[in-house]
Structure 1
Amino acid sequence: MGEIHDRIVAFVKLGNLFREIVHQDEVLETNDQIYLRDLIEKLNIAEQHNAWFTRENLNLALTNWADALTLPNIEKWLSNYQFAEKEPKTIAVIMAGNIPLVGFHDFICVLISGHRIAVKQSSNDMHLLPFIANYLEEIQPWFKGKITFHKDKLPQYDAVIATGSSNTARYFEYYFKGKPNIIRKNRNSVAILTGEETPEELFLLGKDIFTYYGLGCRSVSKLFVPQDYNFDTFFKAIYPYGEIINQNKYANNYDYNKAVYLMSLYDVLENGFLMLKEDQGYGSPIATLFYEYYSDQDSLKQKLITDREQLQCVVSKGWVENEIPFGKTQQPELWDYADHVDTLKFLIAL
């Protein structure tokens, strides 16, 4: 399986590279300056290619990964597993492209476990990962030949990790049924409010709502609120996020969805950059947040259990097991697995 320590050190160096690119205004004269310049170029290309990938969002993704890829963090993550020498398998990974580097955790899991990875990227997010692969190959020879990218047909593979919409997931489940697989569908995140939240807590909830423009599965797309909840308090607390409406694609979605709601005679609350619509669904459109009233704590807990396959994160304070604090949905740890499926355990068992 190769020396896992060497792979860990390589990912720590990658985290340091991310940290340096985010926390400096100009490229410093370091041993990594050529990589820094190359990464800046790739960030510029990614920003031009996808209007949702603003430099702020790209830097946020790099910052979160820099925070995750420290030696203590990686060692803590891997301490829960037993690694054994095995013949490496080829793992096909089909990635989404809704937020920058959204498939990077699968990428790390495959390589840390000692396997080869065959990547099929989304056309929306295809510029950063090849740079990362090249960087890893140059600083650690173990990675050479272990990472390949494919635009069309995948090569021969032993297992699959595929992320997509609920519709594509049905196709994935049929197409990959003969191989060990992890298939991920649409999921959304919710927050539970009681009316007793502080302005600071509601402000932090704004991070969970607006980060990456609400495009991630960890983005809060729905609120559960008690009867007679005062939304004025909520709107006042999130007012500082109002500049989001200056992003053209976000503004276009806001205007379009507002027009649809008005023509459909829906009763919608809005503040100029976010609309609140009472709806039992979970997947709200961009610039819209669904809300639903609850009458008692027990019935809401039961609903969340019943709908758990549709949920990624539950933001609350003292309500449910594995809840996430306000403002923390977009900062998962290495051991916070998508859809609560232990990817590394799956890979080690192959």
Structure 2
Amino acid sequence: MQLQQRINAFHELGRFLQQFSTKEFKKDDSVLNNDLFFEGFKHQIKLAKEHNGWFDLDNLVYSFKSWSKALKKENLEEFLSSYSITESSNKTVAIIMAGNIPLVGFHDFLCVLLTSHKVLVKQSSNDKQLLPFLAKYLEYSCPEFKGKISFTENKLERFDAVIATGSNNTSRYFEYYFKGKPSIIRKNRNSVAILDGSETEEDLKALSEDIFRYYGLGCRNVSKLFLPKDYNFDAFFKGIYHWQDLVNSAKYANNYDYNKAVYLMSEFDMLENGFFMIKEDESYSSPIATLFYEYYDSVSDLTTKLDKDADLIQCMVSKLDFKHTIDFGQTQQPNLSDFADDVDTIEFLLKI
């Protein structure tokens, strides 16, 4: 199968997903094989929502919309334009996927197949309804993919390389277990925002998307703020308040109530607004319904700290002049070339 065929197949998958990019699913009769797959995917969405309470319709639709945009042919061609991809690659790459947000492992899945390798997927139990169905769509739309995609719930066997995403604890197991194989092992990372008090209400509303999308469960979600001394939190709380309905989600509310009780019983200082808490803390990883913050004395001192902690940080959001910062509201809209942990997956796959 030629590279252009693979690109075309994923482009068609993007067109398929676009039908599910709003809460009112809109069937497009021009989409390839739609009569066979449209109703089936609606059912898989229903199963995903029932299986995982964090996968509400808002967040599922957001994920589908993001991928439908990313998989446009011109985006795929631009993404791959700087690589020399041959058709001789035929290794089997195992992917151990996380399950914190919908289709969180899809980028790895995409990269393996675009580079002409076979993919062996071990999914998280939290997110196992959607991807196998989309893989069937790919195989049916482009029969050359048959035999290149497999899923397992058992011990991984007969593979040549591995991409594994997990916690800091599981990464130690991965590093030991896969030490004889080429690998990308991902650990815990979190995202941060750096404010200086000059942010507009629109900036802070956009930042709230970085904080609350997917209930804050993704590594690209902002979980910590760096603030100047004497920062006034009034504008921040005003900017995020339109997310107040999150507390109507039972899972979110339970976490909010639990973490609030822990902080109160421990007599920790915190600020809260009825659905969200902020607490001064040096850690990067904050619990659900909580954001940590830390004050900085100078931009130069903060730059030194962030450089030292680079392995803990996925994204940095700011209007200030730091390296590799992104705009407010953009953390959950990465380009195809925004590789997790800044490790080039395509380059890795071309070298195995």
Please say whether Structure 1 and Structure 2 have the same fold, judged by a TM-score greater than 0.5. yes
Residue type of the alignment partner of 1:98:
N
Secondary structure of the residue aligned to 1:286 is coil
TM-score, reference length from structure 2: 0.97
For residues 230-260 of structure 1, give each alpha carbon's deviation from its aligned partner in whole angstroms, at most 9, with x where no partner exists.
0011001111111111111000000000000
Q: What is the deviation of 1:314?
A: 0.3
Residue type of the alignment partner of 1:298:
S
Q: How does 1:32-51 map to 2 (within 5 A)?
A: 32-51=34-53
Cross-structure match for 2:327: 325
* 180-189 or 316-325, which deviates more: 316-325
Aligned equivalents of 1:208 and 1:111: distance in 2? 29
Residue type of the alignment partner of 1:271:
N
Q: How does 1:1-350 map to 2 (within 5 A)?
A: 2-23=1-22, 24-27=24-27, 29=29, 31-350=33-352
Q: What is the deviation of 1:87?
A: 4.0
Aligned equivalents of 2:89 and 2:116: distance in 1? 9
Aligned equivalents of 1:107 and 1:219: distance in 2? 22
Task: Answer yes or no: is the 8 Å Cα contact 1:275–1:289 preserved in 2.
Answer: yes
* 201-210 or 81-90, which deviates more: 81-90
Residue type of the alignment partner of 1:230:
N
Q: What is the deviation of 1:141?
A: 1.3
For residues 250-284 of structure 1, give each alpha carbon's deviation from its aligned partner in whole angstroms, at most 9, with x where no partner exists.
00000000000000000010011110000000000
For residues 195-248 of structure 1, give each alpha carbon's deviation from its aligned partner in whole angstroms, at most 9, with x where no partner exists.
000000001000000000000000000000000000011001111111111111
Aligned equivalents of 2:115 and 2:296: distance in 1? 44
TM-score, reference length from structure 1: 0.98
Task: Answer yes or no: is the 8 Å Cα contact 2:314–2:340 preserved in 1.
Answer: yes
Distance 1:5 1:233, change over 3 A: same
**Identity across aligned pairs (percent)?**
56
CA RMSD in angstroms, aligned pairs only: 1.0
Aligned equivalents of 1:308 and 1:293: distance in 2? 18
- What are structure 1's unaligned runs of at least 5 residues? none
Q: What is the deviation of 1:29?
A: 4.8
Task: Answer yes or no: is the 8 Å Cα contact 2:91–2:160 preserved in 1.
Answer: yes
- What are structure 2's unaligned runs of at least 5 residues? none
Q: What is the deviation of 1:26?
A: 5.0
Aligned equivalents of 1:284 and 1:21: distance in 2? 31
Secondary structure of the residue aligned to 2:12 is helix
Secondary structure of the residue aligned to 2:347 is helix
Aligned equivalents of 1:40 and 1:68: distance in 2? 21
Task: Answer yes or no: is the 8 Å Cα contact 2:89–2:115 preserved in 1.
Answer: no
Residue type of the alignment partner of 1:5:
Q
Aligned equivalents of 2:170 and 2:132: distance in 1? 24
Secondary structure of the residue aligned to 1:191 is strand
Aligned equivalents of 2:26 and 2:219: distance in 1? 33
Residue type of the alignment partner of 1:16:
R
Q: What is the deviation of 1:83?
A: 1.1
Aligned equivalents of 1:216 and 1:209: distance in 2? 9
Q: What is the deviation of 1:28?
A: 5.1
